[in-house]
Amino acid sequence: MSSAQPPYYPGKFTIALLGKSADSVNRTGSTIIRDPNASVTKLGNFVEHNNNLYRIISTCDFFDEQYDFPDQLIIDFMALSDPGPRLFILVIDSKNTQVEKVVTQISHLQRVFGENVTENIVIVLEESRENLQGRIKEMYNIQMATMNENLAFQCKEWCSHQRPFQFDYKNYPQHTVKRRKDHLIRTRRKCDYTGETYQRNTGRSASTETGMQTKVKHRHSWHAQQYPRSTGASSQQISLPAKRAPGQHDGVYGSREGLYNMVLLGKSGTGKSASANTILTAGKLIGGSNQHFQSYPSSTPVTTRCEVKIVEIFGIPVRVVDTPDFFYEEEHVNQAQVEECKRYCQEGHCVTLLVMQLGRFTDGERNILEKLEKSLGWRIRDSTIILFTHGEDLKGSVDKFIGERSHLDHLVKACSNRYHVFRNSSKDSKQFKALVKKFPDMFPNFPTIRTSTMSCLR
């Protein structure tokens, strides 16, 4: 980083604040922003602080090797800071001052964003380490500083003489980042009011609305909002909606209750219930759900009505809905169950999994997507993933299998080529995690559930 360039002031400075220690990141951010009126927005694993001068995007998960969805984390970061932050401030806490540990973090950023990312990196040490500072400057020529009362002034100087980093989109396509950015902008607009306004408009306390995070003007420390996972502090905790009495509902079971709906659709015998049980293994049954869906071989449908289980997956409550075969009796559509399904299957409030068994395709499935759309009243294909079951029976490539069967090829293309395969002989929860990782845009909230605070990524 060179200080010889003329000042560059296009507007507010965007800074990425990263580190392994939540407490150290907190203190650094508080020292830089120095503004009790800065707005705070919790966006999944990221916290964004805004004042007149800075937009600081911070997280302590960036270097977490055990994180389930590293690619989604990176895409979210790129979307939030697009087209690139002015600075990557890497906070080194007292437990990670070994040269090899610092090099590992820098190398990780280089692998993700390219070798030239070091031009925009500043390392902030909690306490002075002359040996470390000398070695890192020698290896990377990176600007380094110690956390002190002059840090805010230094940060302004660094930003003033540094052009924003430009993502090269080599590993993460620009169209993917843009799509995610557009989604976050829409999400931000939905959440862009204070907790008082939210309660006035909805009659609910923001803290009881699972999955929704309000944007709040805080007049207390940065530390109280940031990273409750590590500090034990949390201004807004997830709480599940109150249990409903049997038969009680408000017309639509959707995100207004704070629950995310996952609806499995398809013909009898395709493995809907077995697939639903595989999803349940990815989390913990809650809210009175104490058993799995019934699933066993039968010549007649086992599932005859919509059945619901609530499970906590990746820390967020999810409503898994197993449905009957609405078209089992060809001359009679089970309209009562279609209407019940509509309560869960609403545009913008769910993802639908159209379950089909590999190697078995009946005439009744030929136009099943169109029939479901007609019955449910909207283009479910825009929110649908084709879920093929009995993947253990497949010999060869699934792409080849689909391509050789025009009816399957047409169906998959109608759903924008979104499909996944479950092995029904395995109840490994990694199958569902692989599905979420494959289609992160279909599950925008899942990668965010690493903290106990509510998330705005919906």
pLDDT per position as a tens digit, 429-446: 788 888 888 887 787 666
CA distance to 265, 270, 325, 372, per residue, from 338 (Å):
11, 19, 10, 9
Residues 407/366, Cβ–Cβ less than 8 Å:
yes
> How does DSSP classify residue 3?
S
Average pLDDT over residues 314-343: 81
pLDDT above 90 covers what percent of the chain? 21
* Structure confidence at residue 366 (pLDDT): 78
Whole-number mean pLDDT of the chain? 76
Residue 299, token pair as written in the block:
């010549």
Confidence band (pLDDT; 50, 70, 90) for 15? very high
State the pLDDT at residue 181: 85
For the CA atoms of the chain, what is the radius of gyration? 25
The per-residue pLDDT for range 93-104, each reduced to its tens digit, is 989 889 999 999
Position with higher pLDDT, 44 vs 312: 312
Between 300 and 273, name the one with better pLDDT.
273
Strand 307-313 to 316-322 pairing: antiparallel
Handedness of CA 259, 262, 268, 271 (dihedral sign): negative
Q: What is the mean pLDDT of residues 418-423?
A: 92
Q: What homologous superfamily is domain 12-189 in, according to CATH?
A: P-loop containing nucleotide triphosphate hydrolases (3.40.50.300)
Helices (H) and strands (E) in the chain, counts: 15, 15
Residue bearing the bigger pLDDT, 2 or 379: 379
User: How far apart, in whole angstroms, are the C-alpha atoms of residue 346 and residue 244?
Assistant: 20
Residue 8 pLDDT greater than 80, yes or no: no
DSSP letter at 45? T
In eight-state DSSP terms, residue 290 is -
Are the C-beta atoms of 142 and 120 separated by less than 8 Å? no
Whether the predicted pLDDT of 87 surpasses 80: yes
The reported pLDDT for the residue numbered 187 is: 66
pTM of the model: 0.48
Does residue 240 have a pLDDT over 70? no
DSSP 235: S
- Mind giving me the DSSP string for 345-361? --TTSEEEEEEEETT--
Residues 327, 27: Cα–Cα separation, whole Å: 60
- The model's confidence at residue 352, banded by pLDDT at 50, 70 and 90, is very high
The amino acid sitting at 397 is S
The CATH number of domain 260-442, selected from 3.30.70.600, 1.20.1250.40, 3.40.50.720, 3.40.50.300: 3.40.50.300
Question: 189 falls in which pLDDT band (50, 70, 90)?
Answer: low
Render 331-349 in DSSP notation, one character per residue.
T---HHHHHHHHHH--TTS
Q: Calculate mean pLDDT across residues 21-47.
A: 85
**CA-to-CA separations, 371 to 52, 333, 367, 431, 450, in angstroms, rounded:** 53, 10, 6, 28, 39
- What pLDDT score was predicted for residue 321? 94
Does the pLDDT of residue 421 top 70, yes or no? yes
At residue 227, the pLDDT reads: 39
